[in-house]
Structure 1
Amino acid sequence: MRSLKVRFALLLGSSALLVVLAAAGALWSIAATESTLDRTLAAQHRLELLAELSGRLTQFGLAALETVGGSEAQPEAFSIARTNVDRALTAVDEALAATIVATSDPLDRTQYAARTRPMSQIRAARVILDRQVSQIERQLDPEARKNGIKGALNGFGAMTGQPLSFLIEAERRTMVLGSEQARALSQRLRLAAGAAVLVAFGIVFVLYRSVTRPTLARIAAIRKAAGAVGGGELDTRLSVATRDELGLLVANFNRMAARLSRREGRLAADRAALEDTVEARTADLRAANARLEAVDRSRRRFFADVSHELRTPLTVILGECDLAARQAGRSVDFGPVFATIRKRAQRLKLRVEDLLRVARSESGQIELDRRAVSAVSILAEAVDNATSEAARRRVALDLEPGARDCEVLADREWLRQVVESLIDNALRHAAGATRVAVALRAEVAAPGAATITISDDGPGFGASEAELFERFRRGDRPAETGFGIGLALARWVIEHHDGTIRLGRGEGGRGARVTLTLPSLDLADLENQGRDTRESAA
């Protein structure tokens, strides 16, 4: 047999024949077993029904005794016991009738039909006891009632005991007979199964020696060669010994191994080229990161250097202005001129100080000098510094100091810079705005809190609140100048003053509003503390 198809067809045909024979034997044994089991189980079921009937009859007799005894609740119990006995009798009758219908053996039908007579005797005993109980209940003499129920129960036991025992014994013999038949059938099945196993082993052995073992040996050789190729031995080859399906498989395997060998060589060359490319790109990326770090360091150094370089000459200018103001001649009044110079220089100095603070904030070197300061004075100074820019943009800048001043525990310069930066943001980013308002009010609902609002009538915020608080975020108009750190730095400063900053809409849903909430100091408490301090010093 040169083809594996013929070999496997023979193998499958033999297997199918064995399966058919085994199935036929199994079906016959199952049918015989089912018949025996059905008879045994039916007998067991009838035996259980008879046991239940025996218990119901006992309960019926006890209920009759309690009913004649005169208990108030016993008539109902007697009626229930009578109903239960009738149900048990009906169940036994139905089981016997079903058995007679199911069996095909005339002898079995005769035997089961003979069992209906004892059942009639038991039913008659139940009727007689029921009638006797009714008669005894009409007697008034307790002794007569006692003797009467005793005789009735003795007669009831005599009428039901023998038929019930006969039925139980008959069913028990049926179960014993079923067990014996099952054991005999089991013995025959064991012998048949042993013979079938011997025949099957003989057929399987012949098929194994002629078909299976040679095929498995060739498949094992192919598997071993495949494992060698998988382990990297791409020069592995197999000899083509036959021209059947396995021979074609071996030839294809040899061609596959040759192609894998050639592809492995190309893959090694490509891997080397890829590693060179990755190494070059990694070096470029490191160089780019180094350049970015250098740019960032240069930017930070620029802020610090510009701040320090401008701070020194401005200090000198301010000092010279003060000296000139004191030594100016009386013929020409230079006081207003020097005052203006000083004011502008002071403002420039504030700008330099702001640059220095920004530089320090970039390096994390912010230090707060918190003292009790007037919130109105800080707002007024911030509004005054931004007045010229507001006039240049033709925007009205108003200060609303509120009903009373509030003192807060804060770093004056940092708080002024925050407010001034928020005003500057409103002027630069609120396109089309005509008014910017800076307001202060003391919270009535929450004493001890001061609220500062910077609002405008422009288009409002164009990005989400989370995005606007990012550092170097410029919003939706990148053409505007500025460092882009106003809100981020403002939130840091306000939170370190134990306050909060919120973004929202202006009145009527138009424009933008920034709300700063800071804890305020009670002025009366501050005056009392100051007076106590002065008295202690005196």
Structure 2
Amino acid sequence: MGSLRGRLALLIGGAAALVALAAAGLFWSLHAAEGTLDATLDAQLRLERLAELSGRMTEFGLAAIEAVGDAPGRPERLATARIEVDRALEAVDQSLGQAIAGTDALLGRTQYAARSRPLSSLRAARVMLDRQVARIQREPEAALRTDAIRGALNAYGAMTGPPLTFLVEAERRTVEAAAAAMRGLARRLQGAALATAAVALALLVLLHRRLTRPLLRRIADIRAGAAAIGRGELDTRLAVATRDELGLLVAGFNRMAARLARREARVAADRAALEETVARATAELRAANARLEEIDRSRRRFFADVSHELRTPLTVILGECDLAARSPDTPEVFRPVIATIRKRAQGLHRRVGDMLRIARSESGQIALERRPVGLAGILAEAVENALPEARRRRVALALAPGDADLVVEADPEWLRQVVEGLIDNALRHAAGATRVAVSLAAGEGGATITVEDDGPGFPPGADALFERFRRGGGSSPAQGFGIGLALARWVVERHDGAIRLGSGGQTARGARVVLVLPLPGSRIGPGDA
């Protein structure tokens, strides 16, 4: 059969035929068993009624003896016994008629005639005993009545015994025949069941060999082909053996594999082109990085050279200013001018020193010269250097040096530059700020330097600003001359201190940077950072 749908229909039809055959066999066996069981139950019922009839006739005989005795009992007992005997006879007769009605007509008439004669004999015996009792009751002498009733009962027993025995034996044979029929039916059903199971098994094996196994084999081939495609073997192809639904599926599978192979070839070509482009761009980027590194080295070298070259004339200018200030020949009118020149030269000299330190820090050449210094003077110098920029930006810059100066072991130039850098960051990056405050206080952890403003504050994840090359948002794109937060933290930690970022003052507005430096005899713990 060419169609997969037809094969499945044949498989389902075969299964349905097996089910129908099994159902028919079950129905027939149940029908046969029901008939045999009904016959057995009817024979058992007739046996029970015959036993009841035997008892009624015995009671009738006893009632007859009582009726003709010297002290007659209740007269109605004989009548009641007579009615019960007649009723029992009628019940036996009806059950025989119902049993014979379900058999063959000729066989039924023969069985009815054979069993109706004993019933007639029983009726005749009852009638005869009844008449003899009536006759005996008219006999005046008790001895004669006793002999007469004894003879009547002997005749009654002789007339009722053989018919009852015959009927009971006939029904017993009927029960045995029904039991034998049931056993024969069971044997036939067992044979039929075995034959049906063998036929069903043979048919299932045939259907499996002709229908199911080829389908499973082809499905296994498709599954193996799909697994090969999954492993990347895109040249896998399956043989199209038939033109049914599975054949169409295999053809579609082959077309899919061919498309995947073509697509993989295009992807491989595109990947090769992309790798070539990436390699070319990487080479260009490396060359650009090399040029940038060379430019950066030249910048740092120029920065360091310019800083170094500027220090010599500034040193000369400061020396000449000192000589002119100490010379008695210098007119008094020029002394304020000389002082101003000396002050500006000192500021420029510090800036040149800052430039040189920044250049050395970028090349990794940082050396700290720690000595006891007062923090109030360092903060005052840093605020003074930042005042021109604060006035230009119209920001109030204030210093709160505290009640007493605090002395720490530190490099004054690096520490001043750290504070200047923090003030410069506050001036440049706090958009809309109107106030920058620098304060000094003594705490449990050491000396605390705080730089805070009333601007918008730090953005979320402010701790990332301590990383190198990270900048927060700001209102001005201008680059300052101070050091960044990464270098500031490095300098503070080399002073055994800590630095942390937070929000502003009581209004929780603005940014706050806190530096904690250890005083002599104190240490900074992790919780102080």
TM over 0.5: yes
Residues in 1 aligned to 2:410 and 2:212: alpha-carbon distance in whole angstroms:
95
Counterpart of 1:271, as a letter, is: A
Residues in 2 aligned to 1:472 and 1:484: alpha-carbon distance in whole angstroms:
15
Counterpart of 1:494, as a letter, is: V
Q: 1:347 to 1:207 in 2, by over 3 A?
A: same
Q: TM-score, normalising length from structure 1?
A: 0.54
Residues in 2 aligned to 1:375 and 1:504: alpha-carbon distance in whole angstroms:
24
The answer for unaligned runs of 5 or more in structure 2 is 34-185, 523-529
1:385 and 2:382 are equivalent in the alignment: no
- 8 Å contact kept, 1:228–1:236: no
Please provide the CA RMSD for this pair: 4.5
Pick the aligned partner of 1:288 from 271, 285, 289.
Answer: 285
Counterpart of 1:203, as a letter, is: L
Which residue number corresponds to residue 505 of structure 1? 504
Secondary structure at the residue paired with 1:520? coil
Which residue number corresponds to residue 349 of structure 1? 349
The answer for unaligned runs of 5 or more in structure 1 is 33-185, 524-538
Pick the aligned partner of 1:465 from 462, 466, 490.
Answer: 462
Q: Deviations along 1:363-386, whole A, 9 cap, x unmatched? A: 444333332211112112212222
Aligned-pair CA distance for 1:418: 1.0
Which residue number corresponds to residue 486 of structure 1? 484
Q: 1:464 to 1:483 in 2, by over 3 A?
A: farther
Residues in 2 aligned to 1:4 and 1:362: alpha-carbon distance in whole angstroms:
79
Q: 1:283 to 1:193 in 2, by over 3 A?
A: farther
Secondary structure at the residue paired with 2:518? strand
Q: 1:501 to 1:409 in 2, by over 3 A?
A: farther
Residues in 2 aligned to 1:228 and 1:449: alpha-carbon distance in whole angstroms:
71
Residues in 1 aligned to 2:510 and 2:259: alpha-carbon distance in whole angstroms:
72
Q: Deviations along 1:343-398, whole A, 9 cap, x unmatched? A: 32222222222233333333444333332211112112212222333344444433
1:303 and 2:312 are equivalent in the alignment: no
Counterpart of 2:376, as a letter, is: V
Counterpart of 1:454, as a letter, is: V
- 8 Å contact kept, 1:300–1:359: no
Counterpart of 1:501, as a letter, is: R
Residues in 2 aligned to 1:11 and 1:312: alpha-carbon distance in whole angstroms:
103
Q: 1:205 to 1:350 in 2, by over 3 A?
A: same
Counterpart of 1:520, as a letter, is: L
- 8 Å contact kept, 2:504–2:511: yes
Which residue number corresponds to residue 144 of structure 1? none
Q: 1:297 to 1:492 in 2, by over 3 A?
A: farther
Greater radius of gyration (CA): 2
Aligned-pair CA distance for 1:399: 2.6
Secondary structure at the residue paired with 1:521? coil
Q: Deviations along 1:293-347, whole A, 9 cap, x unmatched? A: 5325533541342133222332333135414643786443355444433332222
Counterpart of 1:514, as a letter, is: V
Pick the aligned partner of 2:474 from 467, 470, 476.
Answer: 476
Q: 1:24 to 1:477 in 2, by over 3 A?
A: farther
Which residue number corresponds to residue 359 of structure 2? 359
Q: Deviations along 1:39-70, whole A, 9 cap, x unmatched? A: xxxxxxxxxxxxxxxxxxxxxxxxxxxxxxxx
Q: 1:388 to 1:3 in 2, by over 3 A?
A: closer
- 8 Å contact kept, 2:307–2:355: no
Q: 1:309 to 1:239 in 2, by over 3 A?
A: same
Aligned-pair CA distance for 1:10: 3.5
Which residue number corresponds to residue 317 of structure 1? 314
- 8 Å contact kept, 2:436–2:452: yes
Which residue number corresponds to residue 278 of structure 1? 275
Q: TM-score, normalising length from structure 2?
A: 0.55
1:370 and 2:370 are equivalent in the alignment: yes
Secondary structure at the residue paired with 2:479? coil
Residues in 2 aligned to 1:516 and 1:283: alpha-carbon distance in whole angstroms:
48
Q: Percent identity?
A: 44
Aligned-pair CA distance for 1:269: 4.9
Aligned-pair CA distance for 1:417: 0.7
Q: 1:483 to 1:19 in 2, by over 3 A?
A: farther
- 8 Å contact kept, 1:437–1:455: yes
Counterpart of 2:275, as a letter, is: V
Aligned-pair CA distance for 1:9: 3.1
Aligned-pair CA distance for 1:262: 7.3
Residues in 1 aligned to 2:26 and 2:373: alpha-carbon distance in whole angstroms:
104
Secondary structure at the residue paired with 1:353? helix
Q: 1:518 to 1:189 in 2, by over 3 A?
A: farther
- 8 Å contact kept, 2:225–2:237: no
